Amino acid sequence: MFKRIFVTILFLAQSSFCQTLEGKVVVTDGDTINLSGYKVRLDGIDALESSQYCENAYGVPYRCGLAATKFLQTLINNSDVRCEGKGTDRYERILATCFVNQINLNEEMVREGMAVAYRQYSSRYIEQEEAASSNKVGVWSGKFVYPWEWRKGKRLSDTKTKICNIKGNISSSGKIYHTADSKWYHRTKIDETKGERWFCTIEDAIEAGWRPPK
């Protein structure tokens, strides 16, 4: 009984703490930064996953997760970032609203279609999301899967068959990519639950750490 009460008190203390951090940051992805050694998650939004592909207005697949990361880097532009933290998530990241000067980074990511309102946890940025959808900016200009659905394995059904047909296999020999002309291509099965991936270009595969077969 005492242990249960102690855990509850500790959880409440973590959830209700308030902390302001300020300084230079390293952008991890479209909704996560590292500030002064602290992992900070932009609260109330969910950006496209780093490995996520979407389709643009012409139906061409592109790395929307990478685009979200680069967009956040551009917004920050090596400026000092101020984050107002009000809790932690289950990964012990600080949940915060972050600013560069007067720009609310959380809000701007949603307004520009590089993230969506994380409705499961917050309703703060729904208005900005609806505006982005109406204006067809960012991912709203084409097709995409909500990032929380992507994490559960949902994909755009026909994206891979268009141009993302390079297989990123993981074996005892390491991370190896196979193009359609590889003799191992048709024997190779991709299991995304094990970290294996599809790539649209050889450059994408190499950048992600995969190598060609010997």
Which one of the listed residues 49, 55, 107, 112 is annotated catalytic?
49
Q: Please say if 107 is a catalytic residue.
A: no
Question: H or E element: which one contains 15?
Answer: helix 2-16
Q: Is 196 exposed, middle or buried (0-12, 13-18, 19+ CB in 10 A)?
A: middle
**All domains in the chain, ordered by first residue:** 2-150 (2.40.50.90), 165-207 (no CATH)
Q: Please say if 41 is a catalytic residue.
A: yes
Q: Please say if 93 is a catalytic residue.
A: yes
| Tens digit of each residue's pLDDT (9 = 90 or more) over 72-123 | 999 999 999 999 998 999 999 999 999 999 999 999 999 999 999 999 999 9
When the pLDDT of each residue in the chain is averaged and rounded to a whole number, the result is 86
Q: 40 with 32: CB under 8 angstroms?
A: yes
Which one of the listed residues 41, 63, 111, 124 is annotated catalytic?
41
Q: Which two tokens stand for residue 176?
A: 């190896």
Which one of the listed residues 63, 93, 124, 197 is annotated catalytic?
93
Q: Whole-model pTM above 0.85? A: no
| Tens digit of each residue's pLDDT (9 = 90 or more) over 31-80 | 999 998 999 999 999 999 988 989 888 787 888 999 999 999 999 999 99
Residue 1 Cα to chain centre, angstroms? 39
